[in-house]
Chain A
Amino acid sequence: MGVNRIPVIGAAKALRNAARLLRLGGGTAFPGLVVEAVAPDYLDEWTQQLTGGVILVSGTNGKTTTVRMTAEILLRAGYEPVSNRAGSNLLRGILSALVERSDWQGRLVLGGRGVGLFEVDEGTLPQMLDRLRPHVVVLTNLFRDQLDRYGEVEALARAWRRVLAETPPEVLIVNADDPNLAALAEEFPKDVFLFGLEGSPFTRDQLPHAADARFCPRCNGPLKYDLVYYSHLGKYRCPDCGWTRPVPDIAGEIVRTQGVENLGLLIQFGGEPFEVDLPIGGTYNAYNALAATAVAYAYRVPVRLVRQGLGAFQPAFGRQQVVVFNRRRLVTILVKNPAGFNEAINLILSDGRDEPKNLLIILNDRVNDGRDISWIWDVDFDLLRGWVGLVVASGLRAAEMALRLKYAEVAGTVDSPEPIVEPDIRRAIDIAVEKTRPGSTLYILPTYTALLDLQRILARRGLTRPYWEA
């Protein structure tokens, strides 16, 4: 190694502090960028210090929440997880997390047995597998998302399959209810743990519009779904070749649900089933909890600790965290793609609150949002028709967001409220909060960069901790 460790890590740490002082977006990726450029080999030294191995979580939706749930469990089992911040899921984000947890000489300072628990961008998973040589890889799901960046779902699945065969982790954890992923797991040469749902009050008997797995990954025949939990996740089978959804090792059943407040989940792996209550809602979070449980299974964590960990979990900002602001409840749900947005709508409609729904939707089209916003036309906004009291559309593409709601007759038509179009996020928040009655709920649905903007704005108003602490 040509570069001395101390100056580089020291410089990276100093840069992080400087970036924070200057409020340069928390400096979350900045130090990592420095290490990546100057001394990329440090990664290997760090991973050697992580004696509990490295866990990578990838997939379209659920990465951040799965990582947070897993961390709560592993902490209780004597591990000390090192995680990258929500959304900083490229190599530089991981390096930044390691800089953060190192002393000035690049030694990780940990209270327990170190585990790298990183969320990884689905497009860079192949590269990360090679660089990080993880012990466990978790694949949550695969939906169409940012087609301008990631390309098509099937092309991504092919890339994953290739690299998982070349550099297999010891354990692969996969969502059995996603046909593309279940097929991928079948060919995997080492241990596979499957998780899946075995019951939920929210099921449908056919695929929604624009589902991404209509064909059998084995024979290309059209898949039949006996049950759909959400998007294309469900109980499928192929009438042509006989392939069916495999039986999950970690099975869950949603037994209770109330909006974003509560999700009661019955989980079974190995022995006796156990129940856990999560302070969030949505079928997708049931899947996240099952994925975290599967990691615990791989690490042989006792059921008791899994239950404690999931019970202690708290959602991150933008992932259904509820905050009170000016006597209004603000519930922020990140929306990135049709599958996630449809679930957010279901969640809002099932919140059990007897009041018209107040919505602030913030649609940006920067690179990290996906520059193509066509996908909003694949979201089933019609479901909101007649339920909405307030619509504020904001962000760089505020007008098209409002237009989408007009064509769904949710706002801007004869029997619906007039949408307020305010591209400036700061002003949009003020308007939306003011027009939401005290005691009522305002749902804020931002795309990724809009979430960061929103968080900065709310933090400046003393509301939530900045996102680098979240």
Chain B
Amino acid sequence: MELRIGYFYPDELNLYADRGNVICLVQRCRWRGIDVRVVPVELRERFNPDDFDILILGGGQDRDQRIVADDLVEVKGEALRSAVESGVVVLAACAAYQLLGHYYQPAEGERIRGLGIFDAYTIHPGPSEPRCIGNIVVEWQGRTLVGFENHGGRTVLGPGATPLGRVVVGFGNNGQDGTEGAVYKAAFGTYMHGSLLPKNPHFADHLIWLALKRRYTDVTLAPLDDRLELAAHQAAVQRAKAGG
């Protein structure tokens, strides 16, 4: 079996160590004997949706987000939509999550058009409202996901969107309605940035499993020794609950 990962904008959308997610997927495949390849998908570069099983998109600085937004819509938009429709796994964190909604309205300046893959929109309420910063715990399929969020924009889901999970500790999409992230087919959007997957190995494996299942019949993932992963998970949950 093999898995092909497209790592989008590694130079621009890397603010919060999103590389950790890529490293995690690669190693969890390698340790199981699954061939894995990571291909960077850069600015101004077109891509073929049939070439990938998983696409990873992360967060960036404001300026980078604008540069990337145009590219995402104009250059890669069509291919990305078709990838999502055909069940390619997408993990979009932070800025990339916002750009997969209908639009992002910054505190100043023009509205940034998104791809509309998620029925969601994001509004930055301006500098008078504090940013949503801190450890976050989310309930997902009866288990917990734990990460860190740092975003000014508030995302509101429309009727066509399903949240990724419910907030247990933290802000999530908007700090109001208790939702965090969005799911459409195998596309996942989330405010839990950076190194989400390493300390949530069950979620990492879910993504790998979804991606393999699309190409191979009879996919079972061999179990790995996840004691360290789960210890890191527990430590993060404890810090979140302690308000740390």
Chain A bound to chain B: yes
Please report A residues at the B interface, Cβ cutoff 8 Å.
144, 147-148, 152-155, 209-210, 214-215, 220, 338, 365-366, 371-378, 396-400, 402-404, 406-409, 412, 419, 421, 423
Bound Cα distance from A147 to B62, whole angstroms = 13
Interface residues of B in 5-44 (CB under 8 A from A): 10-12, 14-17, 19-20, 23-24, 27
**Which B residue sits closest to A207, measured CB to CB?**
B11
Q: Tell me, rounded to whole Å, the shortest Cβ–Cβ distance linking B32 to chain A.
A: 14
- Indicate which residue in B14, B24, B63, B150 contacts A154 across the interface (CB closer than 8 Å): B63
Residues on the A chain within 8 Å of B229, using CB: 403
Closest chain B residue to A405 by CB distance? B228
In the assembly, what is the distance between CA of A145 and CA of B63, in Å? Answer: 18
Q: Does B219 contact A (CB under 8 A)?
A: no
The verdict on A374 contacting B61 (CB below 8 Å), with A365-B239, A399-B231, A400-B199 known, is: no
When the two chains form their complex, are residues B19 and A378 in contact, meaning their CB atoms are under 8 A apart?
A: yes
Q: Which one, B14, B61, B198, contacts A378 given CB within 8 A? A: B14
Residues in chain B near residue A408, CB distance under 8 A: 23
CB distance from A162 to the nearest CB of B (A): 14
Q: Smallest CB–CB gap between B17 and chain A, Å?
A: 4
Considering the complex, give the chain B residue whose CB is closest to the CB of A215: B63
Pairwise interchain contact B239-A376, C-beta atoms closer than 8 A: no
CB-based A-B contact count at 8 angstroms: 111
- The residues of B that contact A155 with a CB separation of less than 8 Å are 61-62
The contact size tier of chain B is 35 or more
The answer to whether B61 touches A154, judged by C-beta atoms less than 8 angstroms apart, is: yes
The listed residue (A154, A220, A371) touching B135 by CB distance below 8 A is: A371
State in angstroms the CA–CA spacing of A403 and B146 once bound together: 15
Q: 11 A–B contact pairs at CB < 8 A? A: A210-B14, A210-B17, A372-B148, A372-B150, A373-B195, A376-B17, A377-B198, A402-B228, A419-B228, A421-B231, A423-B235
Which residues of B approach A to under 8 Å, CB–CB? 10-12, 14-17, 19-20, 23-24, 27, 61-63, 67, 133-135, 148, 150, 193-195, 198-199, 228-229, 231-232, 234-236, 239, 244
Q: A154-B62, A377-B23, A406-B228 are in contact. Are A147 and B236 (CB under 8 A)?
A: no
Contact: A148 with B231, CB < 8 Å? no
Residues from chain B with a CB closer than 8 A to the CB of A215 are 63
* Residues of chain B lying within 8 A (CB to CB) of residue A154: 61-63
Q: Please give, as numbers and ranges, the residues of chain A lying within 8 Å of B150 by CB-CB distance.
A: 147-148, 372
A378 and B15 alpha carbons, distance in the complex (Å) = 9
Contact of B62 among A152, A376, A378, A397 (CB under 8 A): A152
Distance in Å: Cβ of A395 to nearest Cβ of chain B: 10
In the bound complex, how far is the Cα of B15 from the Cα of A154, in angstroms?
12
Query: A371-B133, A398-B235 are known contacts; what are 4 more A-B pairs with Cβ within 8 Å?
Result: A372-B133, A374-B20, A396-B239, A402-B231
Instruction: Assess whether B23 is in contact with A371, with CB atoms less than 8 Å apart.
Output: no
Task: Report the Cα distance A335→B27, complex, angstroms.
Answer: 26
A374 and B199: CB pair below 8 A?
A: no
User: Among A375, A376, A407, which residue has its beta carbon within 8 angstroms of that of B24?
Assistant: A407
- Among B12, B62, B150, B235, the most chain A Cβ lie within 10 Å of the Cβ of B235
Q: Is B228 touching A412 in the complex (CB atoms < 8 A)?
A: yes
Complex CA–CA separation, A400 to B14 (angstroms): 19
